[in-house]
Amino acid sequence: MHTGKKIKLLRNIKNITQEDLAEKINKTRALVSHIEKTGKVNHYTLLNILKVFKINEAEFETFNEEKAVKKTPAEYELKVETNILNDKVEYYQNENKLLREIIESQKELIKNLKVKNK
């Protein structure tokens, strides 16, 4: 399935018109129509479209009619939200790890300063 057909299918699942999608990505409805018909889209525009659909490039690449038919829009939304939450959890875990390392470094620095001042 070419890119344009995937976009059209996702747009229909999300109940978004071509006009709505065009407005959200600051393009024209005619361009959205052209993309859906030809599958030709520049990468920057595609990334903006994927943001509207809340889907990443890897998910988009593997997306097809069979997957769309098997899932209701609510199930698809849940998967997207779950992916977003998983990304946030991973981000915060990395932040937490970094903060712990900084704290340990600061403790070591304080310990060294106390020894030096004695």
How does pLDDT run across 38-83, given as a tens digit for each residue? 999 999 999 999 999 988 888 888 887 666 655 555 666 667 677 7
Same domain, 97 and 60: no
Print the SS3 string covering 48-62: HHHHHHCCCHHHHHH
Count of domains forming the chain: 2
Q: Indicate whether 54 and 100 sit together in one domain.
A: no
User: Do residues 43 and 99 both lie within one domain?
Assistant: no
Per-chain mean pLDDT for the chain: 87
37/99 Cα distance (integer angstroms): 49
Based on the fold, state whether residues 46 and 103 are members of the same structural domain. no
If asked whether residues 92 and 38 sit together in one domain, one would say no
Residues 62 and 82 in one domain: no
Give the CB-side neighbour count of residue 39, counting CA atoms within 13 A: 6
The domain spanning residue 33 has which CATH number?
1.10.260.40
- Please report the pLDDT score of residue 116 as a whole number: 87
pTM attached to this predicted model: 0.56
Mean pLDDT of 15-28: 94
Q: Could you tell me if 102 and 47 lie in one domain?
A: no
Identify the residue with better confidence: 100 or 2: 100
> In this structure, are residues 72 and 9 in contact, taking their beta carbons and an 8 Å threshold?
no
Q: Are residues 24 and 80 in the same domain?
A: no
Contact 36, 59 (CB under 8 A): no
Q: Return d(Cα 3, Cα 57) in angstroms, integer.
A: 11
Q: Inform me whether the pLDDT recorded for 2 exceeds 60.
A: yes
Identify whether residues 65 and 76 lie together within a single domain. no
Q: What is the pLDDT of residue 36?
A: 95
Domain interval for residue 26: 1-70
